[in-house]
Amino acid sequence: MGIKIGMVGVGEFAQSFISLFKAHPLVDEVTLCDIDANKLEENSIRHGIAKKSLSLDHLLTTDVDAVAIITQNWMHGPQSLKALKAGKHVYSAVPMGIDIDEIRAIVNAVEQTGKIYMMGETSYYYPGVIYCRDKYKKGEFGHVVYGEAQYYHDWDHGLYSVFQKRGGESWLETAGSPPMHYPTHSISQIVSVTGAYMTSVSCQGFVDRKDDGIYRVDANIWKNTFSNQTALFSMSDGSCCRVNEFRRVGHPSVERMALFGTEGSFEHHVSGAMWLTKDSNERLDNLINCAENSFAQVHPIDRLPKEFCGLPNGHEGSHHFLVDDFVMACVNKKVPPINVWEAARYTVPGIIAHESAVQGGVLLEIPDFGGGR
């Protein structure tokens, strides 16, 4: 017995996900949903999907069992909450939300309705992160003492066109969002390995100096002037970690992490990835570099549906696993790996980190909504 899924948003990022949901053997039917009628019709023809809906509100009145929300990031929270309250399972692109209250409401809705919520955090299935989770489970890190993760994505690497498409004529209002409001690519790489969560934070911000007006205090709805932010977090296991979210940086873009333990350490830099102990080191390039098929040796591809073979993938092999995780969770009524509580632990620390930066780096406590059930 399969499920019916509504795809909310049919833009560029949704393209590979539409084909994957359609191909999954446990998805009986896909409905496309977008407020742009022309775009909706184009995608209906492109993907061979007849069922369409011009609004989320209408979609939620249909017999779909679940919705996959791949819309503008400031819309994820309200749309997820509306879908859960309508009795639908929810897959949401990152981030979970941009406000503590809406994240709290989503957690409460999941706990009250029993519906599945999953956030589509790609970094969870990055080869280096999978490698570290395996090492941690085997105890080879010893006690983790420090981690660091970063998401470097300069505006010159496609962000102008992305936000102009998302925001239209008023794109500056949402383009200058605080970098720490998009922290999940970084935070998940550490939290998903150890299971420890962030308890307090001190964050510093770099006031932007570019003259394109994106980070002017009167230009964006957050009155945000920071283009780069660096946060130091205390962790529930007694360790600490540093997270960088940079949008103005002379760098080719990267999402990487390093993790240091009393017995072993993992580092991933431009020169490659290494596993290190007190008296040895091992290069990991052959294990974690993705091949032409978008997978690395450490990816558990045997668990994926054979129908996915040859279909579009992305973000270091993560897309196939994300779709399969969500569908299997809905069908089997089991909590997915990136569940609502895990998603909150990837998202909330960034929101509090920005508040710290606004206050000049003051140490702030981070609320926690509990672990996975």
DSSP 177-245: --GGGS-HHHHHHHHHHH---EEEEEEEEEEP--TTSTT-TTTSTT---EEEEEEEEEETTS-EEEEEE
pLDDT by residue (tens digit) across 24-35?
999 999 999 999
- Phi, psi (degrees; rounded to nearest 5) at 112: -85, -35
CB atoms within 10 A of CB 180: 29
- Over residues 127-155, the mean pLDDT reads 98
Q: Is 370 left (phi over 0), alpha (psi -120 to 50) or beta?
A: left
Q: Report pLDDT for 372.
A: 57
Sheet bearing 280-283, strands edge to edge: 280-283, 272-277, 264-269, 254-261, 144-152, 240-246, 226-235, 198-207, 364-365
User: In the numeric block, which tokens belong to residue 309?
Assistant: 């073979």
User: In the numeric block, which tokens belong to residue 145?
Assistant: 């003492």
* Rg of the chain in Å (alpha carbons): 20
Residue 8 confidence class, pLDDT cut points 50, 70, 90: very high
- What distance in Å separates the CA atoms of residue 190 and residue 197, rounded to the nearest whole number? 9
- What distance in Å separates the CA atoms of residue 111 and residue 113, rounded to the nearest whole number? 6
Q: Report pLDDT for 373.
A: 44
pLDDT by residue (tens digit) across 69-86?
999 999 999 999 999 999
CATH superfamily of 123-298+339-365: Dihydrodipicolinate Reductase; domain 2 (3.30.360.10)
DSSP letter at 93 equals P
Say if residue 257's pLDDT is above 80: yes
Say if residue 250's pLDDT is above 60: yes
Listed residue (101, 120, 131) closest to 297, CA to CA: 131
Residues composing the chain: 373
Contact 21, 5 (CB under 8 A): yes
Q: Report pLDDT for 112.
A: 97
- Over residues 256-274, the mean pLDDT reads 95
pLDDT by residue (tens digit) across 157-202?
999 999 998 888 999 999 999 999 999 999 999 999 999 999 999 9
- What distance in Å separates the CA atoms of residue 326 and residue 324, rounded to the nearest whole number? 5
Residues 6+ apart with CB under 8 A from 70: 7, 8, 9, 11, 13, 14, 17, 93, 120
> How is the chain split into domains, by residue range?
3-122, 123-298+339-365
- Of residues 371 and 6, which shows the higher confidence score? 6
Mean pLDDT, the chain, rounded, equals 96
pTM of the entire predicted model: 0.96
Q: Report pLDDT for 1.
A: 80
Least confident of 108-117, 165-174, 288-297: 288-297
- What distance in Å separates the CA atoms of residue 363 and residue 12, rounded to the nearest whole number? 39
Say if residue 285's pLDDT is above 70: yes
CATH topology of domain 3-122: Rossmann fold (3.40.50)
Say if residue 146's pLDDT is above 80: yes
Q: Report pLDDT for 167.
A: 86
- Rounded percentage of the chain residues whose pLDDT exceeds 90: 95
pLDDT by residue (tens digit) across 320-338?
999 999 999 999 999 999 9
- Phi, psi (degrees; rounded to nearest 5) at 29: -160, 145
Sheet bearing 89-92, strands edge to edge: 52-53, 27-33, 3-8, 66-69, 89-92, 117-119
